[in-house]
């Protein structure tokens, strides 16, 4: 446990370096949010719509009791999503079109696509 | 069950390949048990670090902590990329004839520095995908649906075993290469892996909203190789390939190779007159 705490302490330093020059909070406040849920190793909804041509946040909520990894080569992202938690993934600006994504830990069932328009 | 084997194999293969090439490298150099022990210590440390990172992921309480942990993991990726590149520069500086004994204080200091380099690279290579593998196995444990065939631990073990076997096959194959070609292969594998680590780090930063993609999906080569497919994802982690890269990723990738190749060329030029190279 204390080792995990050490990781958090180290992580704090790392964040400090990264956040130093960036006004993240003010920027994030105006960005539209698109929601996506993982339940029973499936995405709900399996097809989501997002605005094309602008930045947005994909908020992935994991309603399962296991860890999932959101992954998409079309969107060029991968992110661990903890059980019972949500994570914000910054995306865009995307050109109009369909972008496939899947859950890396359950690639057979967890599949979906994002439609940018 | 095949999907478990495949996911575990895919998560482990890159680390095993790196370990395999470091192992072959130390053997080629004629290093003894002590040197190789540093490699194993690094591997053990990497497994420990993976478990800690996985534990930290599960213990996260807030968005801030999640950002901090992502930032820390990104820092590890970038550190690993830097260490691997530095290792190649070091190898180049020594010249292809590394078997000659390093004597005296400077020599042993150099050698011990590299020992820790090998240790750190092995640890970071394992930790890179290791924490995900631990989280994956942990999730499997929770949702233990023993739906026919072999058990979950059996499938996990098989996945790890097959990854080890694949890497071992490659390492064996390396032994048939000439000394010079072996160095070339080692350099190429390490540099491409480092580029892959760098691109993963940059991708993380873009996904966290800390770095702008400049232009998303600059082009699309999914029809050739989709970096989300099984083969594609392995190629992606070993080379930094992305089927739909952003402009930022392309610039970082080109920048990395330009700077690295210039540095390596300069190192080689400085070594040439010392005749060690010509002798080879």
CATH number at residue A35: 2.60.40.420
Per-residue pLDDT tens digits for B167-195: 999 888 888 888 888 889 999 999 999 99
Report the pLDDT averaged over residues A2-27.
64
Report the pLDDT averaged over residues B90-94.
83
Task: Tell me if A37 is assigned to some domain.
Answer: yes
CA angle A102, B192, B32 (to 5 degrees): 115
Report the pLDDT averaged over residues B11-22.
92
State how far residue B26 is from chain A, nearest Cα, in angstroms.
Answer: 31
Mean pLDDT of chain B: 87
Residue B265 · residue A111 · CB < 8 Å? no
Helix (H, G, I), strand (E, B) or coil at B45: helix
Task: Tell me if A74 is assigned to some domain.
Answer: yes
State how far residue A4 is from chain B, nearest Cα, in angstroms.
Answer: 5
Q: Specify the residue for token string 């946040």.
A: A57
The answer to whether residue B239 neighbours chain A at the CB level (below 8 Å) is no
pTM of the model: 0.87
Residue B190 · residue B14 · CB < 8 Å? no
Task: Tell me if A59 is assigned to some domain.
Answer: yes
Q: Calculate what percentage of chain B has a pLDDT beyond 90.
A: 59
Q: Burial of B275 by CB count in 10 Å (0-12 exposed, 13-18 middle, 19+ buried)?
A: exposed
How much is the pLDDT for A8?
A: 75
C-alpha–C-alpha distance, residues B95 and B50, integer Å: 35
How much is the pLDDT for B140?
A: 84
- Contact at CB, B139 and A68, closer than 8 angstroms: yes
Lowest-confidence region among A4-18, B45-59, B61-75, B118-132: A4-18
**What is the domain extent for residue A34?**
23-116
Among A1, A2, A9, A11, which would you mutate to test the B interface (most chain B Cβ atoms within 10 Å of its Cβ)?
A: A11
Residue B241 · residue B225 · CB < 8 Å? yes
Task: Tell me if A97 is assigned to some domain.
Answer: yes
Res. B24: pLDDT tops 80: yes
23-52 in B: which are within 8 Å (CB) of A? 52
State how far residue A50 is from chain B, nearest Cα, in angstroms.
Answer: 15
Residue B244 · residue B273 · CB < 8 Å? no
Q: List, as one string, the DSSP characters of chain A.
A: -HHHHHHHHHHHHHHHHHHTT--HHHHHHTS-EEEEEEETTEEESSEEEE-TTS-EEEEEEE-SSS-EEEEETTTTEEEEE-TT-EEEEEE-PPPSEEEEEEETTSTTT-EEEEEE-
Residue A92 · residue A117 · CB < 8 Å? no
Lowest-confidence region among A19-28, B41-50, B245-254: A19-28
Report the pLDDT averaged over residues B203-214.
94
Residue B121 · residue B87 · CB < 8 Å? yes
CA angle B80, B242, B5 (to 5 degrees): 75
Res. B201: pLDDT tops 70: yes
Per-residue pLDDT tens digits for B122-171: 999 999 889 999 999 888 877 665 555 568 888 999 999 999 999 999 88
Confidence of residue B277 (pLDDT cuts 50, 70, 90): very low
Q: Specify the residue for token string 């330093």.
A: A13
- Contact at CB, A14 and B56, closer than 8 angstroms: no
Question: B278 CB contacts (<8 Å, ≥6 apart)?
Answer: B272
How much is the pLDDT for B219?
A: 94
Cα torsion A95, A98, A99, A102 to 10°: value is: 160
Q: Where are the domains of chain B?
A: 2-279
| Residue B236 region by backbone torsions, left for phi larger than 0, else alpha for psi between -120 and 50, else beta | alpha
How much is the pLDDT for A16?
A: 67
How much is the pLDDT for B273?
A: 61
User: Does the predicted interface ipTM exceed a cut of 0.90?
Assistant: no
| Structural domain total, chain A | 1
How much is the pLDDT for B166?
A: 93
Cα torsion B147, B151, B156, B161 to 10°: value is: -130
Question: B163 CB contacts (<8 Å, ≥6 apart)?
Answer: B8, B9, B12, B13, B16
- Contact at CB, B72 and A7, closer than 8 angstroms: yes
């Amino acid at each position: 446990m204390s080792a995990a705490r050490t990781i958090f302490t180290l992580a704090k330093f790392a964040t400090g370096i990264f956040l130093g020059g960036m006004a993240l909070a003010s920027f994030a406040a105006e960005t539209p949010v698109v929601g996506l849920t993982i339940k029973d190793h499936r995405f709900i909804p399996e097809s989501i719509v997002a605005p094309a041509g602008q930045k947005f946040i994909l908020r992935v909520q994991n309603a399962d009791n296991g860890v999932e990894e959101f992954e998409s080569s079309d969107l060029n992202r991968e992110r661990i999503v903890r059980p019972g938690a949500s994570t914000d993934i910054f995306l865009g600006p995307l050109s109009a079109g369909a972008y496939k994504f899947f859950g890396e830990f359950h690639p057979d069932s967890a599949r979906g696509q994002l439609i940018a328009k | 069950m095949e999907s478990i084997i495949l996911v575990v194999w895919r998560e482990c293969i890159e680390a095993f390949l790196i370990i395999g090439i470091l192992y072959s490298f130390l053997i080629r150099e004629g290093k003894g048990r002590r040197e190789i022990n540093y490699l194993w210590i690094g591997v053990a440390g990497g497994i420990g670090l993976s478990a800690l990172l996985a534990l930290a992921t599960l213990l996260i309480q807030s968005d801030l902590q999640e950002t901090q942990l992502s930032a820390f993991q990104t820092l590890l990726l970038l550190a690993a990329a830097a260490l691997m590149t530095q290792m190649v520069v070091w190898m180049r500086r020594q010249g292809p004839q590394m078997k000659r004994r390093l004597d005296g204080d400077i020599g042993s200091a150099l050698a011990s520095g590299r020992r820790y380099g090998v240790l750190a690279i092995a640890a970071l290579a394992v930790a890179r995908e290791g924490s995900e593998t631990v989280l994956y196995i942990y999730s499997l444990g929770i949702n233990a649906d023993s739906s026919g065939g072999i058990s979950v631990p059996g499938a996990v073990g098989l996945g790890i075993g097959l990854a080890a076997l694949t890497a071992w096959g490659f390492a064996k194959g390396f032994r048939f290469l000439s000394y010079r070609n072996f160095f070339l292969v080692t350099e190429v594998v390490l540099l491409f892996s480092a580029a892959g680590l760098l691109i993963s780090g940059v991708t993380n930063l873009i996904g966290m909203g800390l770095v702008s993609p400049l232009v998303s999906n600059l082009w699309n080569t999914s029809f050739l190789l989709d970096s989300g497919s099984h083969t594609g994802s392995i190629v992606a982690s070993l080379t930094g390939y992305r089927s739909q890269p952003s402009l930022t990723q392309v610039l970082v990738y080109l920048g990395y190779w330009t700077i690295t190749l210039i540095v390596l060329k300069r190192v080689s030029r400085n070594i040439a007159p010392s005749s060690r190279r010509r002798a080879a």
